[in-house]
Homo-oligomer: A and B are copies of this chain.
Amino acid sequence: MPVGTQASIKGLTPRDVEREVDPPIILANTYHLFLRPGHEVVRELGGLHQFMQWPRAILTDSGGFQVFSLSELRKVREEGVEFQSHLNGDRHLFTPESTVDVQLALGSDILMVLDECTEYPATYERARSSMELTSRWARRAFAHYRGPRAEFEQQRALFPIVQGGMYQDLRRASAEALLELDAYGYAIGGLSVGEPRDESLAMTEVVAPMLPQGKPRYVMGIGLPEELPEYVARGVDMMDCVMPSRNARNGCLFTSTGRVIIKNARYRADAGPLDAECGCYTCQNFTRAYLRHLFVSQEILFSTLATIHNLRFYLDTMRAMRRSILDGRFPQYLAGVRVRANDGEKL
């Protein structure tokens, strides 16, 4: 899922997102939209799809992760999390119930429950109590969603989030508790918070097989291009990450022959396309030399062209995996990715 934090995939018109990237779903951030322009304004204007002119599906996170990463003076208690806006210092309270209501006002297709994203590293005791709080919050979110807000359940999905730090038994306990909710889909959270990559994969390996096979499994905040197949191999269906778009703006481009740091002098007069195997607008029309010129000259167009390409590269990677699964070739696909990764080739 490309990330559209503030109701915009940075640098791209929704028309270009559809045509060039073609993702079935994008992600937007509840925390940001709650603060600005405000979920009630978005509701008044017909919801997020109408507001940002995105006709396909939208997933919104619960705001929990941003409260922990962006806001100061946050205070977690049983009721919810109190925090100060990073924009103007205003105090707010997110509860499991209120974040469901905010996401319903936004009109998301997939809502996420409020969770506490356990920091890394965390002691066993800390990870356990944090995970248990997340489970209690999930039950409250579902009770609210299926009680007072039951009219919405036919149209939208609410996903709970598995936590438990880097402890296998806590991850299992979290998954078991959440399975009782019989949700349409499940997320694995609390990864990509600074832990070594093999830890993130190990936690996924413990949790994913416990989650229902016929329902979407979503690992939050993942990952590098060469990591995507590892998660898919472990049964993951959905991922999101700011990396393709943020790296694009910083001049780090992912291609079929490896990473391109576009500011390098070697691209100064390079008449070739960014990625000869890519069909995106950027690769079909512009040279590496032009992209380097735009980057060095700090032209806005660089962000647009680079983001088009990086997001297309991610989505093409996902589409290639899907085809290989349907064709029964995924094991070979994965083996190829691993050989190249072991050769030190970074995709």
A8 and B297 CA atoms in complex are apart in Å by 10
Contacting pair B41 A281 (CB below 8 A)? no
Query: In the complex, which range does the number of interface residues on chain A fall in?
Result: 35 or more
Partner of A11, one of B53, B289, B300: B300
Contacting pair A37 B289 (CB below 8 A)? yes
Q: Interface of A with B (CB < 8 Å)?
A: 6-16, 32, 36-37, 41, 44-46, 51-53, 268-269, 271, 281, 285-287, 289-290, 292-294, 296-297, 299-301, 303-305
Contacting pair B269 A299 (CB below 8 A)? no
Name which of A37, A286, A293 has the most chain B CB atoms within 10 A of its CB. A293
Q: Which residues of B contact A289 (CB under 8 A)?
A: 37, 41, 45, 51
Partner of A301, one of B10, B41, B292: B10
Instruction: Please list 28 pairs of residues, one from A and one from B, whose beta carbons are closer than 8 Å in the complex, sorted by A's number.
Output: A6-B293, A6-B297, A7-B293, A8-B301, A10-B299, A10-B300, A11-B304, A13-B281, A13-B304, A14-B285, A36-B293, A37-B289, A37-B292, A41-B268, A41-B269, A41-B289, A44-B269, A45-B269, A45-B271, A45-B287, A45-B290, A46-B271, A51-B289, A53-B285, A53-B286, A53-B290, A300-B300, A304-B304
A41 and B265 CA atoms in complex are apart in Å by 13
A51 and B299 CA atoms in complex are apart in Å by 15
A-B complex: 3 closest residue pairs judged by Cβ atoms:
A11-B300, A8-B301, A37-B293
Q: Which residues of B contact A304 (CB under 8 A)?
A: 11, 13, 300, 304
A11 and B293 CA atoms in complex are apart in Å by 15
A289 and B37 CA atoms in complex are apart in Å by 9
